[in-house]
Structure 1
Amino acid sequence: MKKVMKKYGSFLLICLAFMACQEDEPGLSTLLTPANLSITTDIASDQSGNVSVTTTADNALNIHVIFKENNDPVVVKPGEPATFQYTQSGQYSQIITVVAYGTGGTASSKTITIDLDVRLLIDPAILQKLAGDGTKRWVWNKEELGHWGADAAFNDQNDGFPAPPNSMNPCLYDDVLVFSYDENDSYGYQLETGVNDETLVGWADVQYFFPNATPQQFVDECHDISTANSTAVKSIDTDTSFLVVEEDGELYLEVENSTLSFWSGASRYKIIELTDDFLHVRGDHQPILETIEIAYYHQFRPEDYDPNAGFESEFNTLFWSEEFSVAGTPDPAVWNIDTGVLGVAGTPTGNNEAQVYTNDPNNIKVENDVLKITAIADGSGGYTSGRINSLGNFEFQYGRVEIRAKLPTGGGTWPALWMLGGDLLSNPWPGAGEIDIMEHVGNNQDNIIAALHDPINFGATPRTVTTTVTGVSDDFHLYSMEWTASGITFLVDNVEFGTIANDGTRPFDKDFFFILNVAMGGNLGGTIDPAFTQSTMEVDYIRVYK
C-alpha cells in the first residue's frame, strides 16, 4: 500500500498508549494531568459501522478520539459522545486511541480494541455507474472545457475558473481512479499515479509540503507526493476504500484518507453528475496558505470511453461548434433571439402552444458555460419561455450533429433541438423541411422522439423514430444525428435508435439552421400540470462534424 502525505495539526502522536505525556510551561503554578480515563463504547448492531465512544477523566479539559490510524481526531468534551462510521465492510478488529488533555498541555492516553461486523450497501444502480463490473477505471475528461475548475466553496455551479481542454499539466492526466467491489460488499478505491509517481498539487499547499519548492501564485506543480516533507504530517492512502452516502437528498463520494487525483486535501466530494460514462464531483477544501475554503471541480470519463462506440461515423472532422463559453445573451453573431418571426411552424401560437417567447434573461441566457432556456408560469395562467435560431448566421448541409443537453421536466413541457431549411422565408413550412433531432414531452417522461417533416409527411403524420432514455431530466445526454444524402440516423449517447430514408423527393439536400426552444402545451406537449412553476433545458454544447 503506497502512502502519500498530508498535514496533521496535533502533537498527540507522541503520546503512546497507556502513557501520559506532559509539556513544561513556565508560569503555570499547577499542572493537572488527566487521570482515571474511563471509556465506554456503543457499536451499532445494524452493520452500519456506526460507533460512539464516550470518555470521562479527572482533570480533563477535552478529549481527542482517534478512530483509525492516520485519521484526524474527533474532539469532544469529557462525557460527550464522539461518533464515527467505519466504511470497510467485513468482520474485523479496530484499535481506537483516546487522548485526554488537561491544563498546560498535559495529556493522558489509552487504547481500546473493538470488534466490528460491517456491511455497507451502496445503491446497486449507483454502484454500477461508479464501479461497473467491479474494476471500473476513470480518467480525466481532459477534452472538455471545465474538466477541472475552482470557485468559491459549496457552489455546484463553477462561476470561477473552468480549465480549457487539455490545459492542465500532463502529470494530472495520467492519473487513474479505480473503483472496485466484491461479493462481500467491500468497496475498494485506488489512485494510480503516472510518470514518476507524480500528481498535481495545489499551488497554495506546495511550499508547505515541499519547502525547497518556489511555486508561483496560482501555478500548481507536479510532485511525487510520497516525498512530501513537513514537521507535522499524516499519511494518505492511495489504496483504500470508498463509499457513497446520501445527505439531505444529495450524494457524496468519500475516498477514505485519499484523494481524487488532484491533491487539494479533499477526500469527500459532492456528486454533481454521475452516469455510466461521466463523473462530475466537487470537493471543498481550505488550502494551508489560504483563509477561505475553495471548491475544486473534477470531471472524469471511463478509461475505455469512446464517444463513437457502437456507431461508426463517416464524419470525423470538427466543422463548427458552439460551446456557450460567454455568459449573458447567446452570441448574437450566431443566434437570433426568436420571439415569433419564422412563420407558421415557428410562431408562439403555432401547434396551439401556450407559451410566449421572450428575450428576458429569466427565459434565456448563457451561464456557467451552459445555455439555459427556462419555461416559467407567469402566475396568471400564462407561460413565458425562450427560443433561439441560427437562421442567416450558421447553416450547413450533411454531417454529424452532437448536442449535449439536460431536459426540463413537468407535465406540458415540450423541449426541442431541431432544424429548418435555410430557404424557409421563401419556401414556407413544410416545404423547407424540418429535422427534429430531439423532442421530449413531460407527460411522457424519458421518451425521446426524432422526426422529419416535409411536404409528403408533416404535422400529425411525420416520419418518426423513438427511444426510451432513463433520467433525461436528471443528467446530460448526447443527442446526435448523422445526415447524408441517403438517410438521417438518430442517436442518444452514441447509440443508434432509428434511421429515416432521404432521397431526391424530400427537401433534405440543402442547408439547414438550428432552433432550440422549450414550448408549453400544444398539440404534442399536451395538458400542462396546474402545479407547474418553471423548468429549464440546459445545453452544454453543439458540435458539427464533416
Structure 2
Amino acid sequence: MKNNLKIKNIFFILLLSVLAVGCAEEDFEFGELTSPKNLSVSTEVVGQSTDMPHGDGSGEVVFNASADGAMTYKYIFENGSSGTASNGTYTHQFSKIGTNVHTVTVVAYGPGGTATSTPVEVEVLVTYEPPAELIEKLIGKEWRIKASAPGHFGLGPVGGTTPVEWYSAPPDSKAGTGMYDDRYIFNADGTFTHIVDATNDDPTQDPTGTVFGRINLVDQLGASCSEEDGCTVDGADVLNIPYTDYTENWTISAPGGVETLNLTGTGFIGYYIGGDHTYEIFDRSVANELMLKSTDGNGEFDWWFVLTSEEEGAQEPEDFETEYNKLIWEQDFESGSLDTSIWNFETGNGENGWGNQEKQYYTTENAEVVDGNLVITAKAEASNGFNYTSSRITTKDNFEFKYGRVEARAKLPEGAGTWPAIWMLGSNFNEVGWPDSGEIDIMEHVGNDQNTIHGTLHYAGRSGGNADGGTTTVEGVSSEFHLYTVEWSPERIVFLVDNEVYHTYENSADSPFNQDFFLILNVAMGGNFGGEIDPAFSESSLIIDYIKVFQAEE
C-alpha cells in the first residue's frame, strides 16, 4: 500500500514537470470533461407479483442503472450504507419491518470525477423479524475475534459451506496485525460500535488504534498508511492501519432464510474486505460464540470469522471431581514390546494425507516400546514417495468402550510441522463415515505453536475448522511429562491438562458421543493443522508413559 502511494507521488511530480515545460513553450488546452448523461434506473423487488406487489417479504431489491459516459455507479441508502457497481447492477437487502418507501440516491461517475445523480424511490415489504434469542445474544456485549481458537479467521471459495476450507489461521497467529485488540458492540438502539484498540482506554478513553485489511480494498476506509505509522504491507494483507473508533448501524435480515448481519457504511468485523458489509451468521449454537462469513469486494473469497463475547482471561480453572474411579483398562508398556493383540497399525498415507494433506507415510517401524514407554517417532526420511515417516496405531475392534475417564501421561515431540494426537473415533466409523461417527481429540499439539494444547470434538455441523474445542497454555510439553485427560459422560465431555479443566461440552442424546469409541495414537507431519515443516527437521517422538481408562463402580 505504501508502494502504491509512493508511485502516485512520483507520477504527480512528473506530471507537474511536464505541465511546467508545456506552459513555458505554448498554451495547452484540456478537452472538456462532461458528466454522464441520460441516467436511468430500474428496480426489481424480489418476489414481486400481482398478489405481492411489494415483494416476497425478503426486502431484497435489484437495481440497474445506465448512463451515457458513465464509468461506475454508486448507490447511497438512507441508513448511510452505500455500494458501488461498475456495470450498474447492485442488489440491496432492506431490513425495516413492514411495507416502507425507501429513497435511494444513484450516482453515475464519469471521467475526472464528473458525476450525475438521481433519487429513486422503491416500496418494499419486509416480514422477517430476528429471533429474540439472537438479539439477546448479540446486544450489550463486547465481542472480539476468538484468537485462541483454530480457524478463528480464514478463507474459502465464494458460496462454500466448509469453514476456512482454503486457509485456517492457527491460534493467535495474527497477533500484532491490528485485529485482536478490536471490540465490536451491538447496541440495543441499532448502533454498532467498533473500538479499534481496547487496550488503551485506561484510565481515559483513547479512540485511536489500528485495524487489519485487504490490500486496495482498505483504501475505502480513507486511512493513510506509512511505515512511519507502523503500517506495513505483507503480501495481500495490510497490517496496523491507523484508524479511530467509529459508530455505524446494524440490522439482521434473512435473505433466502439465512440469518445475516448487516452493517452500514464501511462498518466491518475483524479484517476489512469491502463488499456489501454483510455477514452470514453461519453458526450461533455455541454459547458466547458466533461464526460469520462474508464475501469480499473483489468477489474472490468468502472470509470466515469466529467471535466470542467471553471476557478475555476471565475463565478460572474449575475444581474437578471425577465420577469414574474403577480402572477397567491400562497400557503401561512395561512388557518390552507393543501388544499387537490390542494395537493395530494403520500404514500408508491414507486418502489425501488422511484427509488432512499430511506429509508422512505411516509404517510399522516407527512405534516401539523403550524403557517402559511407548515411543512413536516422526522422521525425515524417504518412504514410498513421501519425505517423512511415522506410525499410527489404534484399538479398533480390540478395545472399545462408552463413557469413562481416559488418562494419558505423555511427553510431546517438538519441531515446526509436528502434529501428535491422542484421540478417539466412534466405532461405527466404517458405516457412517466422518464426522458423523464423532471424534474426541483428548490431546492435539502442533510444533508451530509449542505451548498450546488443544482438546476438540468433531461431529456433523462442527468439524474441521468449525470444530468444538478449547485450548490451554502449558509450559514444557516436550521436555516434561504431563497428564492429558478427558472425562466423558452422557451429560458432558470435559478436557483437562494436569487435572485442570480448560474446555467443557454439554453432551446430549442426539450427539454421536453416546456409543462405543476406540483409541488412536499417532504423530503426523504438516497438513492442514500441522502447518509448515521446518526444513531442518530430522526426528522427534511422542513418548507415552501410560494410558488408563476408568469407569463407574457398579
Output the TM-score relative to the length of structure 1. 0.47
TM-score (norm 2): 0.46
